[in-house]
A and B are shown apart, each in its own frame.
Chain A
Amino acid sequence: MQNSKVHYWFIAPALLLMFILLILPVIVAATLSMTDYSLGNSSFNWVGTDNYEKLFSRRSYAKMFSASLTYVLIVVPISVALGLGSALLISSLRIGNELYKAIFFLPVMATLLAMAIVWEFALNPIMGVVNDILRSGCDKRLIYGFFTGSWYGADPLQSWYGAACADRFPIWLGDKRYALGTIAFIGIWQGFGFNMVLYLAGLTSVPRELYQAAHMDGADSAWERFKLVTWPMLGPTHVFVITISSIRSFQVFDTVEALTEGGPSKSTYVMVYAMFEKGVRQNLLGIGSAITIVFLAFVLILTLIQVYFVNRRVHY
């Protein structure tokens, strides 16, 4: 009732934990990012913005930012497009949609670290299935001709496939040209099913009458109706899916730690892994904290962009 004090007991535990476990750590990270603190040391020095200057000047950190950004820029568009594509296909099916939904959602549920290890086996350059399958195409003229372009008169050795057949197939995770792409592939494999269910949910909220109205208005082809109804009505879902995927892929860690440990030559040195390596492994808490703060800033910006778009969408 009005004058009872019972609400204090209800919110106090949550407030206390929220402060200790969420707000205080941000303050701690912000403070430590200005020091050269290490666990076990009894004292530390204030170094001002040194850590941040290092972060934005040294080459290894440039590689970190570039790895994280590249990863996000590969994973987000592809997993969003695959999510939307599979959602559209599945929702238009007459039979079997539940089955495909379950299959594509499976990787979202499965323990990523475990599945990463399986992918590592599959991608093993010598006994892995992936290269086995690729290799088996080299002596089949149909496949070889199609993928190397020799069908249409190009030099097969100029193509990626032809060159690989002649020499050897990539060692994927062990090659700095392929490692990040391979990690990104696993990220896409794992994440697009999640986007798919979000899009499926978005699609069911599009009123059927709108499609009928589009028919009446003369939007005869499926593509016309997609442009006129589906795409704009999915507006809020797009914003949502894109920011969620971005934040999730910014946090990539499991695959990197288990498969490449940031290498080869820092090509997969993503931010969360860097945070872990500097802060936890090497006990360089100052620089680790600085990465934490920059990372938080990235996530905050992404969320603010989302909020901005969602708010704008509401009034369209």
Chain B
Amino acid sequence: MELKASWLGEFFKHSVLIAGAIVVLLPFYLMLSYSLKSPSEIETNTGGFTGAQQIMTDSRCVKAGNAEEDCLMRPIVYNYTAAFKEAPLVRYMLNGVFVTVSIFIIQVIVALPCAYALSKLKFWGRDVVFGLVIFCLLIPVHAIALPLYIMLAKVGLTNSYAALIIPWTISVFGIFLMRQFFMTVPDDLIDAARMDGMSEFSIVWQVMLPTAIPALLAFGIFSVVAHWNDYYWPRVVITGNKDLMTPPLGLRMFKSDMDGNEYGPMMAATTVIVLPLVIIFLMAQRRFIEGITMTGMK
């Protein structure tokens, strides 16, 4: 009896979760599927997941004056080549990597020594500084985007990499997180390093940094995911200059530049932009979920 009931319960739970999973995965399925299909298949919703992959003519290629037989290709090839041709996707991705990595590195350079001082050095006013950090935790950077934008505009920095990076160089959350972590590092370790002859500066980078790798990794995942996906801030400070656009902003430009029914290439571009994080996530799932929950307080 017990066994039967529990199997029934298990079956019921799985059905509910599978139904949920279908809804959750629907857009990912569509994105991949559309990026493979020909325009007509997309319009009529036929062709299953991959489409028939019948040879099609690239109308733009023909318009550009090429012979018709040179412009024949499979939809999957058409979609992905068009995506890279229509929009500087590679450039967007490189911008994205450059911006997120720079942000993370600067955040660590600023936050780590500060967190070390707040947790391990005794000095007058330490509690005041920490109180200020806590206070600043209350200010969401998205909320103060407008004044930041005005300040950057005043110093003529809008439409630059600096504009994309500067506002994020200070992560009070990072300081807070690292300080909490450093509190758990025994004082003995730092005293031992001092006895070994390390300067305070070396202690931060040669002792605290390596011991803090797990916390830094969590913070890194949080920071990179947030800034790779961030759309609001790039939208505010980058106007029109495609050379500076990050992947989400570039995709948005693609969408508004799109003429007619270029859904295929559009979805191919989307896939290219969404996929890197998704793949890394699936490979290091546990770390990601831990990292995001650990840092979930923001």
Residues of A within 8 A of B (CB): 1-2, 4, 6-7, 9-11, 13-15, 17-18, 21-26, 28-29, 32, 39, 82, 86, 89-90, 92-94, 96, 98, 100-115, 117-119, 121-122, 127, 129, 132, 189, 193-194, 197-198, 201, 240, 244, 247, 251, 253-254, 257-258, 272, 275-276, 279-280, 285, 288-289, 292, 295-296, 299-300, 303
Contacts and interface: CB of A to CB of B under 8 A. Distances in A.
Contacts of A86: 17, 20
Interface of B: 10, 13-14, 16-17, 20-21, 23-28, 30-31, 34, 42-45, 109-111, 113-114, 116-118, 121-123, 126, 129, 132-133, 136, 138-151, 153, 166-167, 169-170, 172, 175, 194, 200-201, 204, 225, 228-229, 231-232, 235-236, 247-248, 251-252, 255, 263, 266-267, 270, 273-274, 277-278, 281-282, 285, 288-289, 292-293, 296-297
A10 B289 CA distance: 31
Contact of A113 (B109, B110, B144, B252): B252
Given A11-B118, A129-B26, A18 B138 contact: no
B43 to A, nearest CB: 5
A283 B100 CA distance: 28
B209 to A, nearest CB: 13
B200 A103 contact: no
B288 to A, nearest CB: 7
Given A86-B20, A92-B13, A9 B263 contact: no
Given A110-B28, A115-B274, 4 more contacts: A15-B132, A102-B285, A105-B292, A296-B139
Contacts of A10: 113-114, 116-117, 121, 200, 204
Contacts of A15: 114, 129, 132
Majority secondary structure of chain B interface residues (helix, strand, loop or mixed)? helix
Contacts of B143: 251, 272, 292, 295-296, 299
B247 A111 contact: yes
Given A11-B129, A17-B110, A106-B281, A113 B201 contact: no
Given A14-B111, A89-B17, A121-B263, A114 B146 contact: no
Contact of A2 (B109, B122, B150, B153): B122
22 contacts: A10-B204, A15-B132, A18-B172, A25-B148, A102-B285, A109-B277, A111-B248, A112-B231, A117-B251, A117-B255, A117-B266, A118-B270, A127-B42, A189-B27, A276-B235, A279-B146, A280-B236, A285-B146, A288-B146, A289-B146, A292-B144, A296-B139
B170 A6 contact: no
A152 to B, nearest CB: 24
